[in-house]
Amino acid sequence: MKFPTDPNEHTPEELKAMIAKMRGVISDFYVGAQRTGVHPFLEFCGLMSKYADVCEAAIAQDIDFTTTSIHGGQQLPVAGHDLAYLAEKFGCIFSGMLQTDDAKKLFCKAAGLDLDEGGSEQCTW
């Protein structure tokens, strides 16, 4: 593997250890979330688990996933089926909060997503 190339990046072994820790936290959260009896809250485990899966796949592509936030400058590669899963989980959690154009516009702007050029102010995903 070609990294770490800078002192802020991590080796594949370090990244794999981080993922193991992430999965431990996800398991702990799941136990607590189940106790709440709130199904949408439990769905956050799915979001976190998928994030860990995507991070694990990034290691195989020589990408230090710790540098892929909006602050790190690198993009985290995500497969289409993973995006669909994340959207489904997000929809389950927030069910309908993004149904109005104003809500969609605010969400897109806050997430740093571009609005389409047609003037309808919908996100260009």
Rounded Cα–Cα distance for residues 71 and 91 (Å): 25
Q: What is the pLDDT of residue 104?
A: 80
CA 124 – CA 118 distance, rounded (Å): 10
The confidence score (pLDDT) of residue 47 equals 95
pLDDT digits (tens, 9 = 90+) for 103-125: 888 888 887 776 665 545 555 44
In the chain, where are the structural domains located? 12-94, 98-125
Q: pTM for this one?
A: 0.79
Residue 113's closest CA among 98, 122, 91?
Answer: 122
Band (pLDDT 50/70/90 cuts) for residue 74 is: confident
Decide: 51 and 95 in contact? Cβ < 8 Å: no
Write the pLDDT tens digit of every residue in 36-61: 999 999 999 999 999 999 999 999 99
pLDDT at residue 125 in the model: 41
